[in-house]
Structure 1
Amino acid sequence: MVMRPISYGRQYISQEDIDAVVETLQSDFLTQGPKVKEFEERFAEYVGSKYAIAVSNGTAALHLCTMAMNVQKGDKVITTPLTFAASANCIRYCDGEVDFVDIDPHTYLMDLDKLEEKLASVPVGTYKGVIPVDFAGYPINVERLRSIANKYKLWIIEDACHAPGGYFEDSQKVQQKCGNGAYADLHIFSFHPVKHIATGEGGMITTNNKELYEKICLLRTHGITKDPELLNENHGGWYYEMQELGYNYRLSDIQAALGVSQLERANEGVRKRNEIALKYNEAFKESKITTPFVHDNTLHAYHLYVIQIEDRKGLYNHLRENNIFSQVLYSPVHLQPYYKKFGWKKGDLPVVEKYYENCLALPMFPTLSIDEQNYVIEKIKEFIDE
């Protein structure tokens, strides 16, 4: 059976998406128009937050959040080593100091026991904040993290780029959807093509804090405002003021139109991803492959389906030879050459380092067909049965 190339992730652009973009292209606004506001309002409704701010990408979202939390030179902020580099880089953009906490060996999320141990070993106030990551789409228990953060006076920016639509049940048995603002100060999302919602490039910040919302809106657009209620003086309808040193981190109406259209099938996409994951789980349950852990009270959003296998490189190469392009995600951030300059070295975070030796992300996207998934499973079994 000859298959088209099967990648680990793939965007799906429907005719409805194309029509939505064309309609915007023919409208009066290509940027700074009504579609951005519509996307923000609909996304806030989707995750259950009070406010949402659309931005140019997920990295911009992280940078704006660290600026909003007033990260300054020398401020220490904790994140996970199992993430894309931007989750740590945003701290460095503000001249802060990055510290890492190792991952839980089952969930692959930041180990909250180890986080608490680190915080308990130093005076309260040593660290300013924490940036957890919902790796692969698995939501971290932000309720417990909030309790720890309150004890040690930390703010929380939740990197939920992998997890729109995911949730966990808190101690009151309430489903807490990623990004709803119930426990974290800020949440960020990405709309890169392999993510759940694709806008080409793009991102979103959600919060329930009006003060943070207004500050980020200002920083997103050069630090400039025309809002009469915020101006120090007003010369007329044309007048604006630059009140902060901000950036051009705006999303265009073209991208927002695509985002609004994609959002219409976001729930269906998460449902389909879970269906694909269930089939993988069943296929590999009696094998030497370790499949993703999921707690009963959690809805995994499955941006990624990551397995652990001893001969990772062998399987990776075998799949490529058969037109299946799996991916290794991620190389631990603390071992990147840039962060090694700050003294990080192999052996510092043994759990994530062991994870990296054996991890492999298999094809996972809503339009993965039954035949394609069967082919992937067949080729993996072919390799492990050799």
Structure 2
Amino acid sequence: MIPYGRQDITEADIAAVEEVLRSDFLTQGPAVPRFEQAVADYCVAAHGVAVNSATSALHIACRALDLGPGDWLWTSPNTFVASANCARYCGAQVDFVDIDPRTYNLSADALAAKLEQAEKTGRLPKIVMPVHFAGQPCDMPAIAALAERYGFRIIEDASHAIGAAYGETLAQNAKQPTTKIGACRHSDITVFSFHPVKIITTGEGGVALTNDPELAERMSRLRTHGITRDPARMTEESPGPWYYQQIELGYNYRMTDIQAALGRSQLQRLDDYIGRRHALAERYDHMLADLPVQTPYQDPRHRSALHLYPIQVADTATRANTFQALRDAGIGVNVHYIPVHTQPDYQQFGFAKGDYPIAEAYYERTISLPLHPTLTGAQQDRVLQRLAETLAAR
């Protein structure tokens, strides 16, 4: 089976993990802060907080921004359910903003229109969570301008996008991406995922980046049961160095040193991985040009991390037939994503099919083709050949 995504584990990765296994620390040792600092440095952010999954990172990010009952979080319907679920963990309510038909990201224009209406009804969001779908950056300057006007906070769900970057304008002198995703230039917090199918992996894990030391300190506390050893944070004088206090309800969301060592080793190859993804995507673009499919648009202002390569076919029936034919041929295509608002568990909140028509129309026709650094030219040829045969047979 040719998978749609796959980790690449090298001897250097194995050696890094082995070093931890032979050390005195497996969980809360020196490898985690080294990894946090390495990710923050790469993204030009001030602080990194590593946790056991991106879902955990999204949750503590929401908690750090005091999202709670009576509050609203808005996100994209074209995402994994974690982007919305993290708000519900906090007792908050969730709503969605439809996507841009070219980038498949949350539409800044749709967001502006929805905010204008929400202001009239007194239901403005406390947090907006743009999702950098497939690794392509959202229009963060536009979203940040709306945050300034309407007073909401921003968490970037960049689970697909470590290594991506964006430009500020389309001006001739600003065509090259200038800001790395994770720098938090236009957001409060950015979250990355290190699941094995993502750009780099820690086996499972995530990190939250921020430039705000208070947010970083609170997220660090929330990942460890809400416990502090800082005397300045305690409610009474500490009786000794053994003492700690739980000053709020937190969680056991810690990343292990084993995971962190793997992630730090992988991070050294991040730019190479993204370069390989771009080379494969460019080959897909060229080879698919004469087939009846829509290839993914890439905003010229930005550099995508290219976590996914989603194509669109003619209609739902074509998608079903093509998906099955490729799977039968040992090609592990996938679909990203079933719109969150159509999930049965979200129906209880009044969402229904038809609420976000652009996201739904995209979903009905999309297939994610294999794209990962270890995909060979021969494997890509096999994908393309079988896809062409299937589409020609219809």
* TM-score normalised by the chain length of structure 1: 0.97
- Separation in 2, partners of 1:118, 1:183: 20
Q: Which runs of 5+ in 1 are unaligned?
A: none
Partner in structure 2 of residue 294 of structure 1: 298
Partner in structure 2 of residue 243 of structure 1: 247
Contact 1:146 1:184 in 2 (8 A): yes
C-alpha displacement of 1:143: 1.2
Matched, 1:86 2:82: yes
- Separation in 2, partners of 1:238, 1:269: 44
What's the secondary structure of 2:118's corresponding residue?
Answer: coil
Partner in structure 1 of residue 329 of structure 2: 322
Matched, 1:284 2:288: yes
Partner in structure 2 of residue 23 of structure 1: 19
Bigger Cα displacement from structure 2, 169-178 vs 366-375: 169-178
- Separation in 2, partners of 1:105, 1:248: 39
Describe how 1:14-163 pairs up with structure 2 within 5 A: 14-123=10-119, 126-163=124-161
The runs of at least 4 consecutive aligned structure 1 residues that moved more than 2 Å come to: 122-126, 171-174, 227-232
C-alpha displacement of 1:48: 1.1
C-alpha displacement of 1:84: 0.4
The amino acid that maps onto 1:218 is R
- Separation in 2, partners of 1:257, 1:24: 7
- Give a deviation string over 1:324-373, Cα, whole Å, max 9, x none: 01001110000000111111111111111111110000001001011111
What's the secondary structure of 1:127's corresponding residue?
Answer: coil
Contact 1:125 1:153 in 2 (8 A): no
What's the secondary structure of 2:380's corresponding residue?
Answer: helix
C-alpha displacement of 1:126: 2.5
Matched, 1:186 2:182: no
Partner in structure 1 of residue 212 of structure 2: 209
- Give a deviation string over 1:192-251, Cα, whole Å, max 9, x none: 100011111100000111111111111111111112443342111111111111111100
What's the secondary structure of 2:41's corresponding residue?
Answer: helix
- Give a deviation string over 1:163-192, Cα, whole Å, max 9, x none: 000111014836111111111100101111
Contact 1:58 1:189 in 2 (8 A): yes
- Separation in 2, partners of 1:315, 1:96: 39
C-alpha displacement of 1:128: 1.0
The amino acid that maps onto 2:201 is A
- Separation in 1, partners of 2:188, 2:48: 13
| Candidates 269, 273, 290, aligned match of 2:273 | 269
Percentage of identical aligned residues: 45
Matched, 1:258 2:256: no
Matched, 1:9 2:13: no
Residues 385 and 125 (structure 1), Cα distance of their counterparts in 2 relative to 1, 3 Å cut: closer
Contact 1:139 1:178 in 2 (8 A): yes
- Separation in 1, partners of 2:99, 2:375: 30
C-alpha displacement of 1:286: 2.0
Matched, 1:219 2:204: no
What's the secondary structure of 2:154's corresponding residue?
Answer: strand
- Separation in 2, partners of 1:133, 1:385: 35
Q: Which runs of 5+ in 2 are unaligned?
A: none
Instruction: Work out the number of aligned pairs and report it.
Output: 382
Partner in structure 2 of residue 372 of structure 1: 379
C-alpha displacement of 1:381: 1.1
- Separation in 1, partners of 2:123, 2:347: 25
C-alpha displacement of 1:296: 1.3
Matched, 1:198 2:204: no
- Separation in 2, partners of 1:255, 1:126: 39
What's the secondary structure of 1:122's corresponding residue?
Answer: helix
The amino acid that maps onto 2:183 is N
What's the secondary structure of 2:300's corresponding residue?
Answer: coil
- Separation in 2, partners of 1:265, 1:384: 36
Residues 314 and 125 (structure 1), Cα distance of their counterparts in 2 relative to 1, 3 Å cut: closer
Contact 1:125 1:152 in 2 (8 A): no
Q: What is the alpha-carbon root mean square deviation over aligned residues?
A: 1.1
What's the secondary structure of 1:44's corresponding residue?
Answer: helix
Matched, 1:331 2:338: yes
- Separation in 2, partners of 1:359, 1:260: 34
What's the secondary structure of 1:54's corresponding residue?
Answer: strand
The amino acid that maps onto 1:177 is K
Contact 1:272 1:366 in 2 (8 A): yes
Contact 1:273 1:366 in 2 (8 A): yes
- Give a deviation string over 1:296-346, Cα, whole Å, max 9, x none: 111011111000012111111111121101001110000000111111111
C-alpha displacement of 1:125: 6.4
The amino acid that maps onto 1:231 is M
Contact 1:137 1:302 in 2 (8 A): yes
The amino acid that maps onto 1:29 is F
- Separation in 1, partners of 2:110, 2:139: 14
